Each structure stands twice: as C-alpha cells, then as structure tokens.
C-alpha cells in the first residue's frame, strides 16, 4: 500500500552550498572539463525549468540566450552539445 506524504515548504530562504576548492595537482584539461560540465548542468537545469524538454528545441541560440538570462558567459559549441546531451539522457 502506497502512502502519500505531503511536505510543507521550509520557511527559511534557500541558501547556495558552500563552494570547496578544487583538488590541486590535476592537469589543466581536467579543470576545463570539470567547469564545462558544471556550466552545462546549470544551463540544462535552466532550460528544463523554462520548459525546453526536447534537445532539438535547445538550439545554440536558445542556450546562449538562457546563459545571458541567468548571468553566465555564453557557452561554446562544445558546451551547447553537452547541454543537449544532458537534456536527452535525463529523460
């Protein structure tokens, strides 16, 4: 038997997590890839919140417009491909 649980929203405002420093001693390419993945994830979440659920609707222009809306630098073509992949495989 399934039991439905109703959660009441928290009264405290949302606070972002504390950022931790990245581990030292990795090759530069690791840091570039890591930051690109984080950016792609932020953009994919913003697009999903905006109602873009299909990768074909997430054109480079749409992704770059969303990046400007949320206040991050315009992504490269590689990052745009990563965003579409996250939308595709997140379903």
Residue 14 pLDDT exceeds 80? no
Which residue ranges make up each domain of the chain? Answer: 26-87
Per residue in 55-86, pLDDT (tens digit) is: 999 999 999 999 999 999 999 999 999 999 99
Decide if pLDDT at 1 tops 60. no
Answer whether residue 24 shows pLDDT above 70. Answer: yes
Does 3 have pLDDT greater than 90?
no
pLDDT, greater one: 1 or 90: 90
Cβ neighbors of 43 (< 8 A, separation 6 or more) are 63, 66, 67, 70, 72, 75, 79, 83
Higher pLDDT, 19 or 50: 50
The model's pTM: 0.77
């Amino acid at each position: 038997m399934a039991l439905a649980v109703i959660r009441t929203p928290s009264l405290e405002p949302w606070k972002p997590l504390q950022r931790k420093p990245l581990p030292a001693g990795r090759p530069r390419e690791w840091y570039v890839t890591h930051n690109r993945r984080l950016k792609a994830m932020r953009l994919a979440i913003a697009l999903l919140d905006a109602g873009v659920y299909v990768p074909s609707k997430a054109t480079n222009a749409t992704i770059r417009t969303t990046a400007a809306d949320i206040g991050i630098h315009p992504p490269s073509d590689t990052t745009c491909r990563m965003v579409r992949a996250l939308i595709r495989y997140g379903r």
